[in-house]
Amino acid sequence: MTTQTEVGTVVWPGHPFPLGASWDGYGTNFSLFSEHAEAVQLCLFDDEDNETRIEMTQRRALNWYCYLPEVGPGQRYGYRVHGRYAPAEGLRFNPAKLLLDPYAKAIDGVVDWAHDANVLPYVPTGEDDADLELDDEDDAPAMPKSVVIDDAFDWEGDRHPNIPFADTVIYETHVKGFTMRHPEVREDLRGTYAGLASEAAIAYLVDLGVTAVELLPIHHIADESFLWARGLRNYWGYSTIGYLAPHSEYAATGRRGQQVSEFKGMVKALHRAGIEVILDVVYNHTAEGNHLGPMLSFKGIDNTSYYRLSPEDPRFYMDFTGTGNSLNPVHPSVLRLIMDSLRYWVSECHVDGFRFDLAAALAREFFDVDRLSAFFDVIHQDPVLSQVKLIAEPWDVGPGGYQVGNFPVLWSEWNGVYRDTVRDYWRGQAGNGDFAQRLSGSSDLYEADGRDPFASINFITAHDGFTLADLVSYDHKHNEANLEDNHDGSDDNRSWNCGVEGETDDPEVLALRRRQQRNFLTTLLISQGTPMLLGGDEIARTQRGNNNAWCQDNELSWYDWSEREPAAELRAFTRRLIALRREHPVFRRESFLRGAELRGSGLPDVWWFRRDGLKMTRRDWQQGDPVLGMFLNGRELDATGPRGEEIEDDSFLVLFNAHHEDQVFMLPRRRFGAQWVLELSTADPSAAAGSVSHGARTEVSVVSRSIVILRRAS
């Protein structure tokens, strides 16, 4: 590798906006924000990694810029930013370190931790104050490079599916893990955007009935050095270093801009199948870690602008995320980066929404979480972003960070209270009152500020924690594979192993575990709100008790598509549940249940009853066994169709028995329904709908730890 400076390179003045590298068909405009830099060099790399450095002498609006004619798509580049290295003042400029463009739309390669080049901005002595001594070693050989791209793409008339939240069923999955072992996906496409766009992958999702995929982070990521040292990799991807670039390692077609077209092709293919794409985004922190972390981009471009630094000692970072740093959305240029990134993914890549990781960190103005923060204000005023699905993970690790129920209108939230309550109920640790509140859409959390039931993203499991199969198989985490002596991961799992820890061949235990999985899935898909299914739960995917598989980029995390009979049965049952929800709007209401009659049907929209078929009393709610009956009135939906027509549906009885003994329910009086037919039973998943009927005030036996759903006969 050689380095030269402006030899034979034609440089034009260019423009300060847009930020990033913008190719216009003839040349490329480069623009980089840095408020405190003293000088900036644009570095171009050829195929042999020879470097040409160009002084960026133009500066306006705190942006450094230039235009290079005849430089176009595929050109790799980076920046070297000059200024003071004074960590005690928060300044960490080091021109020996090549930096990624925060606005890069493609990035080639990953950090090469095995290379001798030091991507730390300081001399790594191993001491706590090592960061105070500048390292002058060039790290370009170990650094990924930003890439100029051609934005052109033939969308062929692609349109957002615009599926209403009330009709949405979310499938949380991982681009790589979903297809990495899929036998019907071409081997060279497995684990890639093209693999997820393959006919086999999409056919599976369509057959299952989900309406949206929520993809774990696909922004370009950087592995942590300690993972590399352990022979592990960051699988989940919550280690972003490029907010406008799809992760190049998930591309089958190339890494010099081809990953962008491949990602867009995946979105287009999913849209053709009627499936929306929601991205899990990480705007709360970056891959650069704390004061001892690497210098990859933001830290070396303008540390004091991009990050929240400790007011008492700006050498250190505020850490609301548990990762070592927190981005600073209070700074207007950082907020602009976040908004520009979000708009790019919607406008240029056609994604349909976002799930914001540790969203409470973005709402912190200075220390406190503020629902009126600039972040929310800008999104609500934006004509593009205000119209897509906005989902918050409503907590962070800072003080006061648990904010379930406190996000503003337009936002839905991962409902952690729902998860905990439903898990507790099916292990006999939650009361009927709390359970009914979650079944009903959590009005106590979302109604007062004008939101609807679908503000609650209901989930039992997610990427972080046990899978559903493990939730019913393990009382304790088993994270030894993470090489942290099982200290990582939560100990608050609210799980129950059904009597045996881990794998067993006991037929009674296995039968109970399968029934419990069906109980959880049934509860999820008949609850008011928006259900989110963890991908693989429908085929009983296991991580062998690992509840923190963030660094397991291997068969522990990748989906097992082998044809096992229990997995096939559970998949069929899940498909049946999703179809039931899709066909019956009574399970996906657009307004909260009132327990009252609103449409003149003669019955309330919901009515709760005991085993004897009589109405629940206050004492029943406060005491008693986890046994509950629910009547849902399909003639009291309080909803209209697109032309104002009233919508009516069938009515249902749902009999919940989370008790360890079988229970006998007396069905309610005739006015609720003269005849009822079986819709499904979690104790007998093979029983066909309509195969059994019951009259009013007759007894129905419900097996221990199971659910029976009855539909009113017409």
Claim: this prediction has a pTM higher than 0.95: yes
Phi-psi region of 412 (alpha: psi -120 to 50; beta: other; left: phi over 0): beta
- Radius of gyration from C-alpha coordinates of the chain: 27
Whole-number average pLDDT of the chain: 95
pLDDT in tens, 175-198: 999 999 999 999 999 999 999 999
Residue 555 has pLDDT above 80, yes or no: yes
Nearest residue to 241 (alpha-carbon basis) of 359, 149, 347, 103: 103
Residue 358 has pLDDT above 80, yes or no: yes
What would the CATH number be for the domain defined by 593-712?
A: 2.60.40.1180
Burial of 358 per CB tally in 10 Å (0-12, 13-18, 19+): buried
Residue 564 has pLDDT above 90, yes or no: no
Q: What pLDDT score does 7 carry?
A: 47
Longest dimension (CA), the chain: 92
Q: What pLDDT score does 121 carry?
A: 98
- Judged by DSSP in three states, 621 sits in helix
Sequence spans of domains, the chain? 3-147, 415-583, 593-712
Q: What pLDDT score does 412 carry?
A: 96
Q: What pLDDT score does 368 carry?
A: 58
Cα dihedral 247→252→254→260 (10° resolution): -50
Q: What pLDDT score does 664 carry?
A: 98
Given a contact cutoff of 8 angstroms between Cβ atoms, the answer to whether 358 and 281 are in contact is no
User: Worst-scoring range by mean pLDDT, 2-11, 350-359, 490-499?
Assistant: 2-11
The domain defined by 415-583 folds into: TIM Barrel (3.20.20)
Instruction: Say yes or no: do domains 415-583 and 593-712 share a fold.
Output: no
Phi-psi region of 383 (alpha: psi -120 to 50; beta: other; left: phi over 0): alpha
Residue 78 has pLDDT above 80, yes or no: yes
pLDDT in tens, 237-284: 999 999 999 999 999 999 999 999 999 999 999 999 999 999 999 999
At residue 627 the predicted structure's pLDDT band, cuts being 50, 70 and 90, is very high
Distances (CA, A) of 123 to 120, 132, 145, 296: 7, 9, 23, 16
Which residues participate in catalysis according to the annotation? 357, 393
Residue 369 has pLDDT above 90, yes or no: no
pLDDT in tens, 689-707: 999 999 999 999 999 999 9
Report the C-alpha gap between 460 and 421 in whole angstroms: 9
Structural tokens at position 600: 């003149």
CA-based torsion, 591, 593, 594, 600: positive or negative: positive
Q: What pLDDT score does 375 carry?
A: 85
Given a contact cutoff of 8 angstroms between Cβ atoms, the answer to whether 663 and 629 are in contact is no
Report the C-alpha gap between 390 and 355 in whole angstroms: 6
Percent of all residues in the chain with a pLDDT value above 90, rounded to a whole number: 90
Report the C-alpha gap between 362 and 352 in whole angstroms: 20
Residue 2 has pLDDT above 60, yes or no: no
Query: Which is more confidently placed, 454 or 366?
Result: 454
Q: What pLDDT score does 549 carry?
A: 98
At residue 365 the predicted structure's pLDDT band, cuts being 50, 70 and 90, is low
Percent of all residues in the chain with a pLDDT value above 70, rounded to a whole number: 98
Distances (CA, A) of 565 to 167, 207, 509, 679: 30, 18, 17, 23
Query: Which is more confidently placed, 599 or 296?
Result: 296
pLDDT in tens, 402-455: 888 888 899 999 999 999 999 999 999 999 999 999 999 999 999 998 999 999
Residue 524 has pLDDT above 50, yes or no: yes
Q: What pLDDT score does 6 carry?
A: 54
Architecture of domain 3-147: Sandwich (2.60)
Given a contact cutoff of 8 angstroms between Cβ atoms, the answer to whether 288 and 323 are in contact is no
Q: Which residues contact 77 (CB under 8 A, 6 or more apart)?
A: 21, 30, 42, 43, 44, 45, 101, 145, 146, 147, 148
